[in-house]
Amino acid sequence: MSRSKQWMRSLDRAVGIPLIAALGALRQRKPLPADPRRIGIIIPTAIGDTILASGVVWEIARRYPSAALTVFHGASNASAVRMIDAPLRGVQCNFTWPFAALKALRAEGLDLIVDLTPWTRMTAICARLAAPVTVGFVSDGQGRAAAFDIASAHRIDRHEAENHAELARLFGASHYRPQLKTECYAAPPDLALDRLVVCHTTAGGSQAVAKAWPDENWSQLIRILVSEGWQAALTGAASDAPKVDAILAGAGAPAPQALSLCGKLSLPELGDLLRRARLLITIDTGVLHLGSTVEANIVALHGPTLSSRWGARNTGATSLDSPHPDAGYIAFGYEIHPRGEETMRAHSVEAVARAALSRLALSKAAEEPSAQADAESRALHLESGI
């Protein structure tokens, strides 16, 4: 079910809520199966959502080590599904066409389905009709409760990771975190990792325009970073290259002081690069959650979203919430606002630059005790003749 199309959301609500109520009235709730053979997990869209949900998949695999896990995903998050650190098989499934989706689910002979979407009714209906036991999120006003044998509260007043943590506790989780695999990125010689600042300027999906920070602001920020001796590398898909090239042209910084990596890294390789780089500066998108998972140093810009709901969770992150009065209007991901684009424009270049340079200074300072200890150790070895 597409978040970007109003008519689809309206149809999903108008048809889905009464249908779920009818289906729920016909069945008794069942407990989790003791030893399911086949488990289906529904994560239909968005790289960021998939990264945040990856810990749930890991906990299910840990609870049922002999079960075959199948993740039903969309085209947009297939790369993120492949990064989940759990034995699973991915099946691309378009829930915009519920009959085809239901057919794909039923073909697997599932004993248990876990629906990790918080609002759409179509995924809940497909789950209800495709497996004898269902688990899923129940959100206020979404009319999904009757679809599930076991429901987990999905609340918009807490971080999305906390919602997944609560559902994961149904499977025995005690400490929740996303679980991803990365791949070693063979950085070319022109990437100076010790002074590299990765900038991610583009988002995908229905909120791409609202989440964007103006290109001219990125250009100014890159000029500041380069003037302070840092190298700026802009990431994105191959399709983002024209936008990134325009930002670099506006910055006026020659390569390799500022360069584009668009289309040159896989998502697992990007995870490795973010771990090794000095800093990630990003808007709220899947790359933010990837950086948070690999414990990158981060400066994140939020406008339509709030950091308390969607921000980075690691200790090396600085989250900048927009000062605009309409900021933070997104709860589920499909909401629109007439002044939505203004929320990101309210971030000044000066404020973002201060946050970035401060985080970079903290990163360098954190290395100094280690560097000093190494020097002292070398001196002791020399003095002892070793």
Q: Provide mean pLDDT across the span 13-19.
A: 82
193-371: same fold as 6-169? yes
Per residue in 275-331, pLDDT (tens digit) is 999 999 999 999 999 999 999 999 999 999 999 999 999 999 999 999 999 999 999
| CA distance linking residue 378 with residue 385, whole number of Å | 11
| CA distance linking residue 295 with residue 313, whole number of Å | 9
Statement: residue 126 has pLDDT above 60: yes
CATH topology assigned to domain 193-371: Rossmann fold (3.40.50)
Q: Provide mean pLDDT across the span 371-379.
A: 42
Spell out the alpha helix ranges (H) of 98-214.
Answer: 98-106, 121-130, 160-169, 208-211
Per residue in 31-73, pLDDT (tens digit) is 999 999 999 999 999 999 999 999 999 999 999 999 999 999 9
What are the structural domain ranges in the chain? Answer: 6-169, 193-371
- Cα distances from 172 to residues 60, 62, 100, 278, 343, in angstroms, run 9, 9, 33, 36, 40
CATH 1.20.120.450 assigned to 6-169: no
| CA distance linking residue 262 with residue 281, whole number of Å | 15
The predicted model scores a pTM of: 0.91
- State both tokens at 257: 């002081």
